[in-house]
Amino acid sequence: MRDTELAGEERGGGGVRRLVVALVLVGMMGLGGELVLLEHTESVWQWVPLPVLAFGFATGVALLLRPAVATVRAFQLAMALFVVAGVLGVYLHFAGNIEFEREMDQALRGVALTWAAARGATPALAPGALAHLGLLGLACTYRHPALRREPAPRGAGGAAPIHTETR
The string of pLDDT tens digits covering residues 77-103 is: 999 999 999 999 999 999 999 999 999
**Cα(55)–Cα(75) distance, rounded to whole angstroms?**
9
**Cα(125)–Cα(117) distance, rounded to whole angstroms?**
11
The string of pLDDT tens digits covering residues 19-73 is: 999 999 999 999 999 999 999 989 999 999 999 999 999 999 999 999 999 999 9
**Cα(147)–Cα(128) distance, rounded to whole angstroms?**
28
Domain extent listing, the chain = 3-146
Could you tell me if 122 and 96 are in contact, meaning their C-beta atoms sit under 8 angstroms apart? yes
The string of pLDDT tens digits covering residues 118-128 is: 898 888 889 99
Q: Is the model's pTM score more than 0.85?
A: no
